[in-house]
Amino acid sequence: MTPELGQLSLILALCLATVQAILPLLGAAQGRADLMALARPAAVGQFVFVTAAFLILVQAFLVNDFSVLYVATNSNSALPAAYKVAAVWSAHEGSLLLWIAILSGWTFAVAAGSRHLPDVFASRVLGVLGIVSMGVMLFTLLTSNPFERLQPAAFEGNDLNPLLQDPALVMHPPILYAGYVGLAVPFGFAVAALLSAQLSQEWARWTRPWTVGAWVFLTIGIALGSWWAYYELGWGGWWFWDPVENASFMPWLAATALIHSLAVTERRGIFKSWTILLAITAFSLSLLGTFLVRSGILISVHAFASDPARGLFILVLLSVISGGALILYAMRAHRMDQDGGFQPLSRESFLLLNNILLIFAAGLILIGTLYPLFVDALGMGKLSVGPPYFNLVFLLPTLPLVFLMGVGMHSFWKTMPKSVLVNRLKIPIILALLFGVGLPLVVFGRATILTLVGCVAGMWVVVTAMLEPAQRLIRGEGSISKIRRSQWGMMVAHFGVGIFILGVTVTSSYSIETDQARAPGDSWELAGYQFVFRSTRDVMGPNYQAVEGEFEVRKGGRLLTVLTPQKRVYRVQQSPMTEAAIQSGLRQDIFIALGDSLGGGAWSLRVQYKPLIRFIWLGALIMAFGGILAISDTRYYRRQKQDQSQSPHDIDASVEKIV
Amino acid sequence: MTPRRRQRMVLIAMIFSGVAVSAGLALKAFQGNLLFFFSPTQVEAGEAPDSRNFRLGGMVVPGSITRETGSMTVNFVVTDYAHSIPVQYTGVLPDLFGEGQGVVVRGQLSEASNFFAEEVLAKHDENYMPPEVAEALAQSEKAREP
């Protein structure tokens, strides 16, 4: 009976979403307050019913209700409780329900947090979110009902895919989706602005915290996915340019561009139509990502189900939502722009370049991701685009981007005297060159040109990000407490980018990755560490059995750690799983994974030394933390008018940059 | 043209040339990194390139996996049930590699029309078939029907 209640809740939520989609928009168009007043109650009601549906599905997993097809396919009574909850979003139907739940959560947040906005505008935003919600709920109920019954009920479930039985994977999808779906909010703001055919600088201020919020989730979500791939799936790799990774990375690039473009729109009132277009693009890329992942057309480790009806439905949804927004954009956007005017050497120019480069990167990644699908659809053969392409097309725009980042951070709005700029950046340039060239050579004793460029770039971003507070501290140029939260956010996020670049550069330059055949009793050396293969033994887990290897890791004769990688076989699905053992540290990771039994007690092993690999995820987390700092700035929550007392030209504006 | 205009033109020209140059480089990388997929039948028919990497997919023939004790080099045969190609690979195999399973290998043909794999991909669900492999199998089945 309970699963039917879940389905009923979802249908009721769909009804409320329909109300939310149609009436407030109508009310806003006709200026009827009574219709607009329906937006918030409908959003709250939708949230309540979607949450109920979601909790009912969670409950079905927790009580092992194998009469529900989705539970029977993705769970098992021996599965630990935390993974039973994670199993809710482990496959198609449940992920969609999660998508809907998160969208209704964002909608609820907008309903609650938009009281300071004009009613007409808030109604339009909620109306647009209602349309999106309606579309996805229809999709779920018509093609992918998670509450479908299995008759007769299964006695035992088919278990959760062993790869997904992992703590990071419990968190990864909800956080990633929170980012993906969160981009619906700036999309809603953009369409609402188009509908009202006007866009004030305040609009940008309202939109910014929501955009940054979604971006924070997206950043953490992508980082978690990469971390999971590193220790669970990738045999030590952290990014594969897998189409599904690209599907989450392209919205991230667009959202990053949007954040920067919004800054210009807020401070200077220009780039308006471009900002709107970016908001539409970012969410469209999210939807495209959903389509790519959920339609099963991708050849990817993430692509599970394939069902043409589903793919078609999402494609129609995508064209209605994005296409509709783009048509509206074509009709209305030209009315918005005004010429603010800025010099070639100014904050605006650098942010413009930032946008061009980010979108250029996203575009090239999009080509590499979609091209194989087009070729296949045309029946011209099957092909894929190799990672070297993506590495190159990502590096091309990001290298200039990174160097411009440091300059842009320290430029004024409107115009930047060259002499002042040079004066400010003299010391950072020297420091970046010194440390960027010096550190790799001193620590590793060798470096290629590309390594040095990467290290200098990373150092450059780190140093320029710290310049402002450092100058205030050292030279006493103003109090450090005068720096606003949003400025801190910008500096911290950029600092995170620098850390990330250093991590990527050092890891890809100095990692040692080996596959070796070893038997118990063997010892060998790698990257200055001594390894001893002590033994293997059988171990039993709650729902798997495993062979566990025991390895000593020593440095200079001193025992550092004992690593115990496992080769597991999960009982229900009988699928083998490699559980790597990693000695992780800020400076380096030591990675051992058991490969295959080679006979005679010997095993193939993957043994890796990965310097600074933690910087990659640490950098991403610092970026996200910067985003959180920026959102917490009170200026986004003040009532209108007050903020205008501070003009962009006052003294603080020289340091108030991207924020 | 005012100096300000000229400056702006220079900026725009710089952006455009930068974009053009990188687009050219990207295109080159794109062409260099296209990996085509072929079934054993297509390889037999000589459709696959000789000195270039491509991807080969099919089923691992049961009983065909052999390795010398203690060696990391493994030999197996990939088939689409019409034709078969022997494959050699040195390294750690993915978890779901196994006899009778779908597999995609990336590498090159040797002169003796052996396939030397640099990478072996097997997907992470024992019922899951890489879509390319599924289609290749369907194709070869169709071809064998009278």
Q: Best residue in B4, B17, B22, B66 to probe A by mutation, most A CBs within 10 Å?
A: B22
> Does residue A574 belong to the interface with chain B, where contact is any CB pair within 8 Å?
yes
Residue B12 shares a structural domain with residue B61: no
- pLDDT for B127 equals 46
CA distance A55 to A278: 35
In a 10 Å sphere around its CB, with 0-12 CB exposed, 13-18 middle and 19+ buried, how is residue A177 labelled?
Answer: buried
Start-to-end CA span in chain B (Å): 76
Residue B13 shares a structural domain with residue B85: no
Cβ(A576)–Cβ(A568) under 8 Å? Answer: yes
SS3 call for A402: helix
Residue B8 shares a structural domain with residue B64: no
In chain A, % helix, strand, coil (3-state, to 5) comes to 65, 10, 25
Residues linked to residue A576 through DSSP beta bridges, in sequence order: A569
Six token digits for residue B57: 């997919």
Size of interface A-B (CB pairs under 8 A): 120
Which residues in chain A (497-516) have CB-CB distances under 8 A to chain B? Answer: 515-516
CA atoms within 13 A on the CB side of A627: 25
> Does residue B10 belong to the interface with chain A, where contact is any CB pair within 8 Å?
yes
Which are the contacts of A621, defined by CB distance < 8 A and separation ≥ 6? A220, A223, A496
CA distance A551 to A531: 7
- pLDDT for A285 equals 95
Helices (H), A476-575: 485-510
- Which residues in chain A are closer than 8 Å to B33, comparing Cβ atoms? 385-389
Which are the contacts of B47, defined by CB distance < 8 A and separation ≥ 6? B38
Residue B50 shares a structural domain with residue B104: yes
- From A240, A256, A246, A255, select the one nearest A293 (Cα to Cα): A246
CA distance A89 to A260: 33
Largest Cα–Cα distance in chain A? 82
Residue B74 shares a structural domain with residue B7: no
Largest Cα–Cα distance in chain B? 79
B77: closest CA of chain A, how far (Å): 18
State pLDDT tens for residues B106-117: 999 987 778 999
Those residues of chain A that have pLDDT short of 70 are 1, 234, 295-308, 337-339, 477, 639-659
Over the Cα atoms of chain B, what is R_g?
23
Number of Cβ within 10 Å of residue A366's Cβ equals: 17
Residue B58 shares a structural domain with residue B86: yes
- pLDDT for A295 equals 65
Six token digits for residue A219: 């950043």
- pLDDT for B85 equals 92
Residue in A389, A576, A577 nearest the CB of B30: A389
Q: Best residue in B47, B95, B137 to probe A by mutation, most A CBs within 10 Å?
A: B95
Six token digits for residue B31: 């062409």
State pLDDT tens for residues B116-138: 999 888 764 444 456 666 677 67
Cβ(A507)–Cβ(A610) under 8 Å? Answer: yes
Residue B8 shares a structural domain with residue B60: no
**Residue ranges per domain, chain A?**
2-328+351-393, 417-510+622-638, 515-611
**At CA A556, angle to CA A551 and CA A562, rounded to 5?**
20
Which residue segment(s) compose the domain that B28 sits in? 1-34
- pLDDT for A300 equals 42
pTM, 2 dp: 0.91
- Residue contact B35–A519, C-beta within 8 A: no
Q: Residue A22's Cα: distance from chain center in Å?
A: 31
Which are the contacts of B44, defined by CB distance < 8 A and separation ≥ 6? B83, B85
Tens of each residue's pLDDT in chain B, 146 residues: 577 778 778 878 887 888 888 888 888 888 888 888 888 998 888 888 888 889 888 889 999 999 888 888 999 999 988 899 999 999 888 887 888 888 889 999 987 778 999 988 876 444 445 666 667 767 776 666 54
- pLDDT for A160 equals 84
CA atoms within 13 A on the CB side of A388: 10
Say how many domains are in chain B: 2
SS3 call for A40: helix
Tracing tokens 């389905």 back to the chain, one arrives at A7
Is the peptide bond prior to A469 cis by the omega test (within 30 degrees of 0)? no
Residue B21 shares a structural domain with residue B74: no
Indicate the Cα dihedral angle A171, A177, A179, A181, nearest 10°.
-160
Residue of A nearest to B136 (CA): A382
Q: What is the 3-state secondary structure (H, E, C) of A573-610?
A: CCCEEEECEEEECCCEEEEEEEEEEEECCEEEEEEEEE
Number of Cβ within 10 Å of residue B119's Cβ equals: 13
Cβ(A595)–Cβ(A588) under 8 Å? Answer: no
Distances in Å between the alpha carbon of A628 and those of A117, A275, B43? 22, 21, 54
Residue of A nearest to B7 (CA): A344
Residue B9 shares a structural domain with residue B72: no
SS3 call for A564: coil
Which residues in chain B (69-108) have CB-CB distances under 8 A to chain A? Answer: 69-72, 74, 90-93, 95-96
Q: What is the CATH number of the domain that holds B74?
A: 2.40.50.140
Cβ(A610)–Cβ(A588) under 8 Å? Answer: yes
Here the ipTM equals 0.82
- Residue contact B29–A392, C-beta within 8 A: yes
E strand residue ranges, A226-318:
none
> Does residue A353 belong to the interface with chain B, where contact is any CB pair within 8 Å?
yes
